[in-house]
Structure 1
Amino acid sequence: MTKTDQVIDVTDLRRVYGGGFEAVRGVSFSVGRGELFALLGTNGAGKTSTVELLEGLAPPAGGRVRVLGHDPYAERGAVRHRIGVMLQEGGFPSELTVGETVRMWAGCTSGARPTAEALDMVGLGKRAGVRVKMLSGGEKRRLDLATALIGQPEVLFLDEPTTGLDAEGRRETWELVRALRDGGTTVLLTTHYLEEAENLADRLAILHEGRIAAEGRVADVVASQPSHVSFELPDGYFLGDLPPLGELGVSGHEVTGRQVRLRTHELQRAATGLLLWARDAQVELRGLDVRAASLEEAFLRIAREAEGGTGTGAGAGAGVTADAGVSDKETVA
């Protein structure tokens, strides 16, 4: 990616709060035009603290940030009308209707799309006359998204966009975000749903204690972790009766009683070799479970490594959470 392709460019970014707490500690990354980039992290990782700097809500304590080629804080006027922001909570006046809320927002936005179009995009077209206070939590999140989209932004910041949505609403939001990205909108997403990041993101970064622990294409981050094959040893057989594990491409294993769990970066080779052995031996591998690596496994492994002091990853066992300034209160196990 060349400098001219970079819509968001962050170099050695730092953010310090009162009392000297450093929430963002030298973060660097870039996001290309039409790319969806996800920020993940554990409790207090610094996700929202970072995003607020990109949105121009505060100046950095150090480093450099550019959005659409401008400093989003010092040159806010050159950036604000070209970005859309979906905060964790919108805080809309409760007595206004949905339609009135979006029209009010449109009145403060240059180049606003029609109110009906914005509401239809998020599935609230039939709720335009309902007061905000009567909306469900999921509907309020849809309204947040509608106001973020009202200005037809070139860059869209989504902070936990599907919190409170049911499964259907979450999938519909994913489809909308994909369509926006495919239309050329650059999207920066924070989420505590790893499945969401895995389904939507082109690239991602995992933050821990204000630093980037891992970054790259989603497939590459996932591929860095081993896949697993689990099964129960047939009666009368032991681990040594299996084909040599090295020949199966197995990098490690655990045995608990009769249960065997193999780790491999060559899942097809390991599974095929094991099944051919079982066929030739005319035995059944009870409880066979062949599982490819996932973003969740990658995240948790980075977490464990950080806790053990062997890497710079996320804190062990911590859930991916919504980061709110200095401290995080919402944890997803």
Structure 2
Amino acid sequence: MACIECIMINVYSKKIEEGEDGQRLDVFLAAQTGKSRSLVQKEVKRGDVTINGNLVKKTGTLVGVGDVVEVVEKKLTPTVTAQPKEEVFDYSRITVVAESDDYVVVHKPSGLLVHQTPAEEPHTLVTWLMDRYPQIENIGDSPERPGIVHRLDKAASGVMVVAKTQKMFDHLKQQFKDRTVEKGYTVLVYGNVGNPHGTLDFLIERGKEGRMAARPKQGVLSLKNIKRRQTGKEALTEFWMKKEFSRFTLLRVKIHTGRTHQIRVHMLAYNHPVVGDPLYAIKRYKKKSDEPLRRLFLHATTLSFMDLTGNPVTTHADLPEELQVYLDKLT
């Protein structure tokens, strides 16, 4: 609920009786209402006072028997109003793919943040996790990210592993550091990629307005007129063509590093942006006749890691229905 200021109107009305006549208007009203003469005079000058329905501007006007004096009082008062209805997230869209005493692998739907950000959005995967697994509250490196060792973009969907014990958290964290965790994605991009297999090693650095920027590495790809020292973090993305359409290409993608927005920014730098990406887009690829897609076509399909006993764990999440339906309509 929220408070806003509204105008409340009260009307004071008094008929002049015998013995009350002959008084100045401001003197009469001050005596009747308990207000100061100066306040009454302001009301008169403001046009809030009438005699017999006629506006009075002179505070020294004399009142007579039978006159009806009215004062319209206007006050600002806080009024409680309903706030716009908060968008409700359907947490039943989250599904458990695999689980043990040490970890849980979930299928995160598109549109859900993994953990809280400075924007303080109300719905996160952590909210669901804490409700279902309250014992993970103190697991990990940060109380805002209990059990979280890696992330998926809010707009993306797919498999994620969450640690349920500190030992598993440390074990997974080391695997991500050593880059032994295998992450596979299904991605639809604009244009015909042509190559059945390729690798992208553009450096990635933070750009403006929440965007990341990718640039070819010096000595690997030709860059003309470099005017500043090369910066950015190493990033390696590998892709395989799964299916080619008239204006799109479906890719299987594997990332060997875990940079923010890595696939999205690499594919943009490669001139094949991800379909449905509101942040990294090239307008010339879009057509009004295109079937609308209200989410990013980037899905974490597979995730492989080692459990505490050293056994490999491979998990999989099928394409969400909305992506499969979109794909089936392409030619």
- TM exceeds 0.5? no
Larger Rg: 2
Give the TM-score normalised by the residue count of structure 1: 0.25
